[in-house]
Amino acid sequence: MKKIAFAEALATLLGSSDSAVGARGAFCMPPGLHRHHHHPAAPRTKIDQPSRRRRNNHSLNSSSSSYDGDLEIIRRNGFRHRLVSISNDNLSHHPMPAEIYDGGSSKLCLVTSIMHRRAESKAKQPLLKILLIDDDDRAEKVVDVGQLTTLWKDWHASTEPIDDPVGHFKGLLSEARDFLRDNSLQTEKAAMNLYNNRMANRSRPTDYRRRGLTKKKIPKVAAQTSNPRRFEDLLRNLLKVGDDHMSRLVDSEFMMDYLYPDFCREGDDEQVVRRLVAAHVLSEDAKNGGRFRRRSCQFASALYGEEDERLEEIALLNGGWIAVDASIKSAVEGQKFASSAMSKNQMKKGGVSRALTAADERIIHRLECLAMGDAWRRSDNQGDRKDLEVDVRETLIGLGLPLSSEGARSALIEVGRWSNVSEDNLGVVVEPWSADTLEASRSLVKAEEKRRTLLLNTCKSIKTKPRKKPLAQLEDRFDLSSLPCVCIDAKRTSFRDDAIGIRLRSSTGRKVSKAASKWEVLIHIADVSDIYLKGEGLLPSHDIALLRHAAEQRGMSRYDLPLGPLHLLPPVALKALSLKTDEDSCNRCVTLWAYIDERDGKLLEAGLERTLIASPTALTFADATSLLDCDTDKSNVKAVLSVAHRNLSRWSRRHANLNEAARKREDRLSQKELISNATGRDGRDDGVGGSFQRSRGHRLVDSSLDLYAFALGTLMRRANQPIPRAPGSMENRGGRLGTAPLRRYIDGMAQRQAIAVLCDYGGKPLTKEECRLAARLASKANEAISNIKAAKDTPQGSRR
């Protein structure tokens, strides 16, 4: 047989100008899926080579023309980027690295040769000789093609022959393992991003004229081959990986792009280490993560020698890892979570040392809601299994717990998220917090009581007249304890975090425009920034870290559950941080002052201060409305309400006229009020159960919080500093900013950033990336709750 250089033959076969097997030009990715590679479609050229007698009774082809023609069909129908050929001629000089599944785990090996196999052999797959690199000894083994996961077909183009390839790769493998030990969060994020990309591309519509093979076309295409029946099976098998050119299939080279997006490949040892890391991440995810499952290489065709019938060349469709459906992923994630919870070595109860994945957090959110009596789907006589999400169901089954609220509580206690607390006269009580978090909350209560007492005594010992400069003995806060203020909330409110006040602008030393107004409106928000500062405050850093981590995990308070609310922090901690209204006390606040032109509602000036205020007068919405409607009351409370309402209502009208988002929000609230009144759901004043009111008291509070968010956003933009925002809370969406730090984690982070920038307190401001991270954490918690609520409200039978 006349031999041709293998690289030249393959280059011609694939329509590429590359001169080596698997050169980068022969590795063509689907459009838009690979940042570093772009190659035009291969021209349909015919291989020009001498006639060779081939005998291949057990492969897909039996002649030179059928061999070449079948490979051309593979390329023409969208699979050329996965086609790879290997020959003994080339392997003798360049053993090819490959990922292989052996002994129940994924390993790295070097393919050294294609095994001799006579034509009359009954084997259906070619056999390969490999050298395993993961083992201590240089284990030489014989495997079939189905054990290969991915061939590194672009390896030869950038390397010279290595004297000791096994030893060389073992050294690089050791470096890769060192990286994996220290970068688990980075690898988890990369795997999730890659999975989301595959799912997005899979659901994206594709122009029919650009589509490759389809199920309807398979019989017609297979009929053109030498063995239509077997070729049809192969093509149907390929479509399982994605009907748009194997769009669901990824490999370690794809993953390397997500782990190292800025890496420029030069074919050196660093590239090998990074690809080894990528291969490990995919194999571990298939084993534990549930996003990907293994897809082996597929045998396409073989070429035999002319005289001795030795197997000299084989063509394969390269394998990798398939992005699985969301339902399958959820089931595996639930099983993984249950397995971790049952392992003493993997789950530390009651602590924050175990890094939870996004899937773990979602499962915990759903377990908490189920434990509080919530259900996501309704069904008639179908049993509990139909009412639970897949990941929650698999978690409870894996832990051997009933599929019920009681089972969810037991699961949360077992993983350390909830705890049992013994209380006098109550016995053992289930508390939706870890034991360490509750202990940190008790420490916070003691520290806050001591702090309030100290600040109150200091205020009484000095003049109560508002100061032009902060006093060091008052933590550099402005003393506003002599000014009256009011706190307006629903009847059932447990924790108050905002209040409204006024002050004479002349008392501040700032310029007064008599024609505009003599008053500044004060909007006080409870100061909880100590929870979000590192190395600050009265508590040890460990306790602060526990409370901050608890707020990150919960994300926000939820009040619509049958058995009660799930708060952002333990109630004892929220009570310690909230505004005191029923005792002689002082409250730490972050106060926005606003100077508004009472003629047209224009905001003339605003600023932010760290302040101390007295205990505000607590009013319900009905109380505030009655006082605003009353003309005879001459109290300080009535005066505060009247001035604040006059200024805020005029600003609100002007804002709605100038801001489209504010106008749309006003329309939505008006419609909501009409629906509530029409359905008779006006028994409550807090919006729970479909009730909704817009009394003068409600409007006053709404306007004050809208102004706080608007002015704070404007001040931060002028300072050219970022601030954490929840999704959908941008100014052009009319969202709130920093107004509810006792209920939303993102508002606590926004408050911490605001005082760092505008009040020069709490250390360096957050960077843009830190603000984005806070927003992502808030978004993750919000999506978990939104998904549950959306599913719960879906009509029966509409979800599958």
Sequence ranges of the domains in the chain:
6-324, 327-427, 435-766
Question: How are beta strands 617-620 and 485-489 bridged, if at all?
Answer: parallel
- The reported pLDDT for the residue numbered 344 is 47
Which positions ≥6 away from 768 have C-beta within 8 Å? Answer: 722
**Residue 315 CA: distances (Å) to CA of 231, 251, 299, 671:** 14, 18, 7, 66
Residues linked to residue 421 through DSSP beta bridges, in sequence order: 429
What is the rounded distance in angstroms from the CA atom of residue 177 to the CA atom of residue 171?
10
Which positions ≥6 away from 183 have C-beta within 8 Å? Answer: none
What is the rounded distance in angstroms from the CA atom of residue 18 to the CA atom of residue 643?
80
Contact between 148 and 295 (Cβ < 8 Å): no
Which positions ≥6 away from 446 have C-beta within 8 Å? Answer: none
What is the rounded distance in angstroms from the CA atom of residue 463 to the CA atom of residue 313?
94
Question: How are beta strands 96-102 and 83-87 bridged, if at all?
Answer: unpaired
Residue 632 has which token pair? 């005879």
Strands in 485-489's sheet, in edge-to-edge order, are 478-480, 603-614, 586-596, 519-526, 498-504, 485-489, 617-620
Containing 778, the helix (H) or strand (E) segment is helix 768-793
Q: Count Cβ atoms below 10 Å from residue 511 Cβ, excluding itself.
A: 10
- The reported pLDDT for the residue numbered 66 is 66
Residue 485 has which token pair? 């203020």
What is the rounded distance in angstroms from the CA atom of residue 79 to the CA atom of residue 317?
8
**CA 609, chain centre distance (Å):** 34
**Residue 572 CA: distances (Å) to CA of 529, 557, 746:** 17, 14, 20
Q: Helices 636-658 and 621-629 meet at what angle, rounded to 10?
A: 100
**Residue 778 CA: distances (Å) to CA of 416, 464, 553, 557, 782:** 22, 40, 9, 12, 6
Q: ∠ CA(84), CA(88), CA(93), 5° rounding?
A: 100
What is the rounded distance in angstroms from the CA atom of residue 659 to the CA atom of residue 469?
35
Instruction: Give the DSSP letter of residue 477.
Output: B
Which positions ≥6 away from 663 have C-beta within 8 Å? Answer: 656, 657
- The reported pLDDT for the residue numbered 706 is 93
Which positions ≥6 away from 532 have C-beta within 8 Å? Answer: 548, 551, 748, 749, 751, 752
Residue 174, Ramachandran bin (φ over 0: left; ψ between -120 and 50: alpha; else beta)? alpha
Dihedral of CA 599/602/605/609: which sign? positive
Query: 3-state class of 784 per DSSP?
Result: helix
Contact between 161 and 29 (Cβ < 8 Å): no
What are the contacts of 463-467 at 24+ separation with CB within 8 A? 466/503, 466/507, 466/508
Contact between 750 and 523 (Cβ < 8 Å): no
What is the rounded distance in angstroms from the CA atom of residue 186 to the CA atom of residue 178?
14
Q: Count Cβ atoms below 10 Å from residue 463 Cβ, excluding itself.
A: 9
**First-to-last C-alpha distance (Å) of the chain:** 60
Residues linked to residue 619 through DSSP beta bridges, in sequence order: 488
Contact between 392 and 583 (Cβ < 8 Å): no
Which residues, given as ranges, of the chain have pLDDT below 50?
1-63, 119-120, 122, 157-158, 203-210, 344-354, 377-386, 794-800
Q: DSSP readout, 411-475?
A: HHHHTTSSEEEEETTTEEEEESS-HHHHHHHHHHHHHHHHHHHHHHHHHHHS--SPPSS-BGGGT
- The reported pLDDT for the residue numbered 223 is 82
- The reported pLDDT for the residue numbered 379 is 41
What is the rounded distance in angstroms from the CA atom of residue 10 to the CA atom of residue 45?
12
Residue located via tokens 């006080």: 524
Which positions ≥6 away from 67 have C-beta within 8 Å? Answer: 54, 56, 61, 301, 303
Contact between 324 and 292 (Cβ < 8 Å): yes
- The reported pLDDT for the residue numbered 750 is 95
Query: HSE on the CB side for 516, CA within 13 Å?
Result: 17
Residues linked to residue 144 through DSSP beta bridges, in sequence order: 127
Q: Count Cβ atoms below 10 Å from residue 471 Cβ, excluding itself.
A: 15
Q: Over the Cα atoms of the chain, what is R_g?
A: 34
Q: Count Cβ atoms below 10 Å from residue 520 Cβ, excluding itself.
A: 26
Which positions ≥6 away from 445 have C-beta within 8 Å? Answer: 572, 573, 575, 576
Query: 3-state class of 244 per DSSP?
Result: coil
Contact between 753 and 723 (Cβ < 8 Å): yes
What is the rounded distance in angstroms from the CA atom of residue 631 to the CA atom of residue 636?
13
